[in-house]
Amino acid sequence: MAGITPAQQLFDLTGEVALVTGASSGLGRRFAKVLAAHGAKVVAAARRTERLAELARQSPAIAPLALDVTDTAAIDARLAEAERAFGPLTLLVNNAGIASGRRMVDTTEQEWAAVQKTNVDAVFHLSKGFAQRLIARKAGGAIINIASLVAERVGVSSASYAVSKAAVLHLTKAQAIEWARHGIRVNAICPGFIHSEMTDDYLASPQGQEMIKRIPQRRVGDPSDLDGTLLLLASSRASGFMTGAGLAVDGGHALA
């Protein structure tokens, strides 16, 4: 039986090199800062490069990367650029995503396609490129996909977003079973409603306030509520025997 590892060592990410997408704001920005604070080198990627530059100025362990996750033809080049910052990548956090607030009968073909391309296709292509690099050098690593409460509970979000996040959760399982033999762990975080630029207008609305009353904890999450789950899945010491899991962090919302 292994000895007891102190928490400081359990979540020490020294030696990890992470790529975090959608890092210019919201959860992605928080993820980049938390990983860097625990010893990882972090490539923060997004389209809004001016925000990334400001984030990188806060820590020498964070480097900015201009990345449009829907530009699949450029993924290999962007991954190569990411590795020039701090060396070979060991961790990928697929956080970038968009939402559409329309009901199905009002959703246009273009809106549907845009949500699936950003939320699902990008996760597939980035994860594939990342995994190919790890397999080529016979190195293990980890992927953390950001799914959602609505991956399994419809009715609290638009259909296009809910379907995309359900696909991400199933994609997580498919990636996990295929890549386990290569030492690549793939897990998902399924947040409930978290304060962010994407959600705050809705949460402040009468509909949002009514929804909050139905959450068992009677509150919306703060980005910091995801810190522990992120570190758990990022650390091979803490979650080395976990793959294919989807961890709910939702204040009990899925139970209501």
pLDDT above 90 (res 158): no
pLDDT above 70 (res 199): yes
pLDDT by residue (tens digit) across 36-50?
Answer: 999 999 999 999 999
Determine the average pLDDT of the residues in 232-252: 97
Domains of the chain, each with CATH number or no CATH: 10-240 (3.40.50.720)
**What pLDDT, on a 0 to 100 scale, did the predictor assign at position 200?**
87
**What pLDDT, on a 0 to 100 scale, did the predictor assign at position 103?**
84
Residue type, 82: A
Q: How far apart are CA 188 and CA 115, in angstroms?
A: 19
Q: Between 105 and 34, whose confidence is greater?
A: 34
Q: Between 59 and 256, whose confidence is greater?
A: 59
Torsion, Cα of 46, 51, 33, 127 (10° steps): 0
CB 88 within 8 A of CB 68: no
pLDDT above 90 (res 163): yes
**What pLDDT, on a 0 to 100 scale, did the predictor assign at position 156?**
59
pTM: 0.96
User: CA nearest 178: which of 135, 230, 121, 233?
Assistant: 135
**What pLDDT, on a 0 to 100 scale, did the predictor assign at position 157?**
65
**What pLDDT, on a 0 to 100 scale, did the predictor assign at position 41?**
98
Q: pLDDT class for 105, splitting at 50, 70, 90?
A: confident
pLDDT above 90 (res 167): yes
pLDDT by residue (tens digit) across 50-100?
Answer: 999 999 999 999 999 999 999 999 999 999 999 999 999 999 999 999 988
**What pLDDT, on a 0 to 100 scale, did the predictor assign at position 99?**
87
Q: How far is CA 165 from CA 99, 107, 158, 176, in A?
A: 10, 17, 11, 16
Q: pLDDT class for 198, splitting at 50, 70, 90?
A: confident
Determine the average pLDDT of the residues in 124-153: 97
User: CA nearest 43: which of 27, 26, 25, 21?
Assistant: 21
Q: Among all residues, which ones are annotated catalytic?
A: 161
pLDDT above 90 (res 101): no
